[in-house]
């Protein structure tokens, strides 16, 4: 009897310890607050309730830069999370940290079907061999937002063709003549008007396939195509047709308030514009220069991806794989896409959204998807992989401000940005050797 009890007790202890072990904890650090933070929490909760083996613990670590810095500091202290959210410009930094990250395709194992992910979304995060190093999480692409009421007030047909910059230029003239204070503004000037501009016109932003083929890349955005565009924008700025509001998305406030007629901004601006705009607005594809390209290539993404950190246990990696697989499932992706305006990462999620009738109910929400996926990406339109790129964007911002203020011409400003940016690329090359 005594014997039986002790066996029972021992097995009970074993069972309870197994139950405790069964709940492997997966740490996930992200950069989302507000509505996006709630939606991430919802995804995590759904995953945690869907199975009993793993518990994902999501923690907000500040904005994109702060989250990356928190991840780096934690790695140096040996306390890194399992999953770290890193914005797209931090991709080269993460890739270069060979001993700090575990590529997603390795974590996911043999049965991982990479072909279901949309090429131009995952392309930003793949190795030269086409293997996914991180999982795209939130991706958006720049589009042209139009205030239809403003066009009408100025006596312009709101359905007028705005697919080329040539056409936009003449509309800006008309808006200016009609006395509109803010014919056009932009958010994220480097991302929209240089990075995406280059991909969209199939011209290199940097050598070595925009840095995909090695860290010995050099910036190349001072070629005639980009100079012509920045030069035109500079003239518009001088004439009061393009109003510069700031380096980030400050221009969004002006557009949402109904002051500006045209606005180049991320497709993910949808939630905010839809909530605040008290005018008839519309999404159009990003314009291109007919003089530079007969038809546009694809645009590239912005946003963040999820990186798996090195140095965790085998069970945790299995949990990470299960969670990433869950995030990629069509239902979860379609919901995320519809709730946030971010692009779906798999084509299945896009098809599901279409079949649910979301695009019909919300016209224009599919423009970004079409613009990204209409053409197979080229070496110039796969994305950017440049070290210290967050800081290079800062340099580009400074030089573009000189053009908008009329202090420099476009060629001089872009030459200077290339020269200064190259110095940072050489530092990065040396650091990651």
Partner 1 sequence: MEKRVTFKGIWLPLLLVLPQILITAIFFFYPAGQAIWQSLFIPDPFGLSMQWVGLGNFEYLLSDRYYRASFVTTAIFSILVTVVSMGVALYLAILADRLIKGSGTYRTLLIWPYAVAPAVAGVLWLFMFNTRVGVVTWYLGLLGYDWNHVLNEGEAMGLVVVASAWGRISYNFLFFLAGLQAIPRSVIEAAAIDGAHFWTRFRTIVWPLLSPTTFFLLVVNIIYAFFETFGVIHTITSGGPQQATTILVYKVYSDGFVGQDLGSSAAQSVILLVIVSLLTVIQFKYIERRVHY
Long-range contacts of 67-72 (CB under 8 A, 24+ apart): 67/29, 67/30, 67/31, 68/93, 70/29, 71/29, 71/309
Strand partners, 26: 56
Cα 71 → chain centroid = 19
Strand partners, 139: 303
* 419 belongs to the binding site for partner 1 (CB under 8 A): no
Q: Give me the least distance between CB of 389 and partner 1, in Å please.
A: 9
Q: Give me the least distance between CB of 427 and partner 1, in Å please.
A: 6
What whole-number distance in Å separates Cα of residue 430 and Cα of residue 78? 24
Q: Give me the least distance between CB of 101 and partner 1, in Å please.
A: 9
Q: Give me the least distance between CB of 261 and partner 1, in Å please.
A: 15
H or E element in which residue 292 lies: none
* 186 belongs to the binding site for partner 1 (CB under 8 A): no
Phi first, then psi: what are they for 89, rounded to 5°?
-75, -10
* 407 belongs to the binding site for partner 1 (CB under 8 A): yes
Answer for which of 401, 411, 415, 422 binds partner 1 (CB under 8 A) is 401
* 72 belongs to the binding site for partner 1 (CB under 8 A): yes
- For residue 292, CA distances in Å to 190, 216, 234, 322 come to 19, 28, 18, 46
Phi first, then psi: what are they for 225, rounded to 5°?
-60, -50
* 55 belongs to the binding site for partner 1 (CB under 8 A): no
Coil/strand/helix, residue 186: strand
Answer for which of 246, 258, 272, 330 binds partner 1 (CB under 8 A) is 246
* 230 belongs to the binding site for partner 1 (CB under 8 A): no
Q: Give me the least distance between CB of 188 and partner 1, in Å please.
A: 14
Answer for which of 69, 163, 223, 411 binds partner 1 (CB under 8 A) is 69
* 325 belongs to the binding site for partner 1 (CB under 8 A): no
H or E element in which residue 71 lies: helix 64-76
Q: Tell me whether residue 131 or residue 398 sits nearer to partner 1 (CB atom).
A: 398
Q: Give me the least distance between CB of 9 and partner 1, in Å please.
A: 47
Among residue numbers 94 through 123, which ones bind partner 1 (CB under 8 A)? 96-100
Binding range to partner 1, per CB under 8 A, among 187-195, 218-226, 249-257, 349-357: 249-257
β 135-140/83-87 pair status:
unpaired
* 347 belongs to the binding site for partner 1 (CB under 8 A): no
Binding range to partner 1, per CB under 8 A, among 37-45, 130-138, 267-275, 398-406: 398-406
Residues 6+ apart with CB under 8 A from 21: none
What whole-number distance in Å separates Cα of residue 305 and Cα of residue 361? 29
Joined together, the tokens standing for residue 361 give 């109910």
Answer for which of 153, 235, 390, 415 binds partner 1 (CB under 8 A) is 390
Q: HSE-up of 326 (CA within 13 Å, CB side)?
A: 19
Residues that bind partner 1 (CB under 8 A): 65, 69, 72, 75-76, 93, 96-100, 244-247, 250, 253-254, 257, 259, 388, 390-391, 394, 397-399, 401-402, 404-405, 407, 420, 423-424, 427-428, 430-433
């Amino acid at each position: 009897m005594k014997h039986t009890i002790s066996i029972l007790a021992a097995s009970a202890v074993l069972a309870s310890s197994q139950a405790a072990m069964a709940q492997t904890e997966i740490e996930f650090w992200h950069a989302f607050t507000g509505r996006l933070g709630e939606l991430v929490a919802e995804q995590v909760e759904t995953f945690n309730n869907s199975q009993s083996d793993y518990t994902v613990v999501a923690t907000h670590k500040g904005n994109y830069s702060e989250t990356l810095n928190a991840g780096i500091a934690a790695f140096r202290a040996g306390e890194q999370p399992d999953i770290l959210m890193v914005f797209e410009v931090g991709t080269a930094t993460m890739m270069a940290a060979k001993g700090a990250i575990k590529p997603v395709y390795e974590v996911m194992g043999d049965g991982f079907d990479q072909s279901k992910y949309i090429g131009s979304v995952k392309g930003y995060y793949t190795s030269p061999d086409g293997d996914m190093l991180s999982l795209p999480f939130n991706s958006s692409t720049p589009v042209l937002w139009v205030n239809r009421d403003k066009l009408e007030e100025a006596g312009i047909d709101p359905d007028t063709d705005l697919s080329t910059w040539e056409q936009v230029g003449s509309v800006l003239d008309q808006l200016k003549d009609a006395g509109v204070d803010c014919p056009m503004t932009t958010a994220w000037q480097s991302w929209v008007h240089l990075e995406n501009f280059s991909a969209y016109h199939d011209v290199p932003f940097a050598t070595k396939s925009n840095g995909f083929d090695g860290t010995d890349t050099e910036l190349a955005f001072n070629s005639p195509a980009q100079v012509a565009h920045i030069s035109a924008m500079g003239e518009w700025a001088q004439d009061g047709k393009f109003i510069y509001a700031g380096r980030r998305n400050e221009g969004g406030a002006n557009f949402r308030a109904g002051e500006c007629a045209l606005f180049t901004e991320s497709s993910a601006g949808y939630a905010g514009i839809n909530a605040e705009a008290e005018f008839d607005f519309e999404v159009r594809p990003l314009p291109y220069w007919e003089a530079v390209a007969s038809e546009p290539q694809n645009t590239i993404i912005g946003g963040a991806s999820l990186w798996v950190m090195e140095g965790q246990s085998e069970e945790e990696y299995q949990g990470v794989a299960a969670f990433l697989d869950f995030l990629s499932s069509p239902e979860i992706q379609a919901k995320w896409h519809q709730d946030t305006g971010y692009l779906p990462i798999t084509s299945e999620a896009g098809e599901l959204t279409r079949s649910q009738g979301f695009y019909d109910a919300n016209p224009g929400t599919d423009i970004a998807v079409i613009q990204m996926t209409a053409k197979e990406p080229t070496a110039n339109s796969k994305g950017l992989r440049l070290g210290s790129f967050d800081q290079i964007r800062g340099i580009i911002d400074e030089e573009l401000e000189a053009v908008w203020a009329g202090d420099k011409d476009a060629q001089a400003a872009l030459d200077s940005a290339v020269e200064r940016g190259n110095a940072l690329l050489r530092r990065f090359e040396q650091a990651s050797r």
